[in-house]
């Protein structure tokens, strides 16, 4: 199949806020992502832009959040440095969740069968007590069950059951 990216329309994708709010967020996010500021201020700004953030949440510096109004984080959760929450669709993070450094939560994708490569997005949910290890990647439409552990560098393309442990393959000497 030949793709015609010039024909891409983005049909069905709702950014969730007017363009002026999107621009304001992108300006503020650039400052939040690149400059140190107290966690209390970071959380307050995210809430002002529509994020639902519970008490006791720690969001480290250099965290990238695409649209805060599509983010919900439960009480006492941690989001580590250099986490990227690419939330074209809602991302829900439960209480007491640890999202370690460099994790990517990616709700966006494209339909590879579409001649114009249209969006194929879906939300992500990470339930209470889960732990996502450093540099893990969670793809669109995935649910991580309560108390589950996703090991460092693991690629998660499908749901993880409550209490399960998912590890990335280990390097092997040849």
The model's pLDDT over 54-69, given as tens digits with 9 standing for 90+, comes to 999 999 989 999 999 9
Determine how many CB atoms are found less than 10 A away from the CB of residue 116.
15
pLDDT at 1 over 90: no
In the structure, what pLDDT confidence band is assigned to residue 36 with cuts at 50, 70 and 90?
confident
Cite the beta strand spans of 19-170 per DSSP E.
52-53, 58-59, 64-65, 71-73, 78-79, 84-86, 91-93, 98-99, 104-106, 124-126, 131-132, 137-138, 143-144, 149-150, 155-156, 165-166
Tell me the pTM. 0.95
Closest CA to 73 of 126, 20, 145, 113: 126
In the structure, what pLDDT confidence band is assigned to residue 32 with cuts at 50, 70 and 90?
confident
Give the pLDDT score at 70.
98
* Residue bearing tokens 């579409």: 114
pLDDT at 34 over 90: no
- H or E segment at 146? none
- Give the chain's mean pLDDT: 95
């Amino acid at each position: 199949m030949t793709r015609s990216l010039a024909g891409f329309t983005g049909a069905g994708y709702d950014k969730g806020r007017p363009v002026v709010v999107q621009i304001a967020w992108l300006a503020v996010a650039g400052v939040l992502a690149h400059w140190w500021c107290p966690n209390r201020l970071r959380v307050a700004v995210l809430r002002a832009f529509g994020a639902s953030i519970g008490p006791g949440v720690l969001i480290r510096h250099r965290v990238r959040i695409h649209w805060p109004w599509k983010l919900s984080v439960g009480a006492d959760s941690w989001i580590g440095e250099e986490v990227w929450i690419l939330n074209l669709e809602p991302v829900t993070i439960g209480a007491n969740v640890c999202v370690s450094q460099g994790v990517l939560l990616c709700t966006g994708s494209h339909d590879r069968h579409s001649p114009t490569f249209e969006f194929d997005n879906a939300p992500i949910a990470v339930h209470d007590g889960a732990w996502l290890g450093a540099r893990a990647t969670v793809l669109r439409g995935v649910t991580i069950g309560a108390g589950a552990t996703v090991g460092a560098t693991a690629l998660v393309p499908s749901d993880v059951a409550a209490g399960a442990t998912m590890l990335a393959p280990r390097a092997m000497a040849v």
